[in-house]
Amino acid sequence: MGVFAGMACILLAVIGRRSNSMLLGGLGFSGIMCTVIIYGVILPSVINNIDLSKHFEPQAKSAMTSLVRHAEYFKLQHGHYPESLEELRANLKDGELVFFYDMSGPLRPDQEPREFYYEVVGDGDSYLLFGVGGDAEPFTSDDIYPLIDPVKDKNIGWVSQK
């Protein structure tokens, strides 16, 4: 709105040719410059410093829980856990929607989305699956994990740490 109001003030100043036209033109120019500074400089730097990853943790946990189910189904079909999330992705049926991307850590608009951390451990009888959290580093205190009940789900291969 500041740009339009500023352009209107400048236009009225040029057309009007009154004694206060310079003041009106200056006011219009100032309005345009304030808009450019606010939306072009200040707002992007504020937005880039906001960490929205905490707001996406519930969705990340839900996506990981779904991946755990798919990894367990993969083992039932093939006798072993998938070596990578890519192998798990290749096993999906056409049209099946499973979310593999970790939204628990910060992502800038210029970054490629990252997948959840997945690794087969031990003798291949268990696997790690987690989100890297706010620091975007695996194996730190802010990592997030799928929603697994240790009592009900004690027979699955998912483990929280090596």
pLDDT tens-digit readout, 11-57: 777 787 777 777 877 888 888 887 777 777 777 766 666 555 567 78
pLDDT more than 90, % of the chain: 29
pLDDT tens-digit readout, 87-115: 999 988 888 888 898 887 766 667 788 89
pLDDT at site 53: 58
Region of poorest pLDDT, from 24-33, 58-67, 68-77: 24-33
C-alpha 117/C-alpha 139 separation (Å) is 10
Mean pLDDT of the chain: 83
Nearest to 158 by CA among 100, 92, 75, 93: 75
pLDDT of residue 7 exceeding 70, the answer is: yes
pLDDT at site 57: 84
CATH number assigned to the domain covering 54-159 = 3.30.700
Higher pLDDT, 71 or 142: 71
- For the chain, the structural domain boundaries read 2-48, 54-159
C-alpha 73/C-alpha 81 separation (Å) is 9
Q: Residue 16 has which token pair?
A: 């009007």
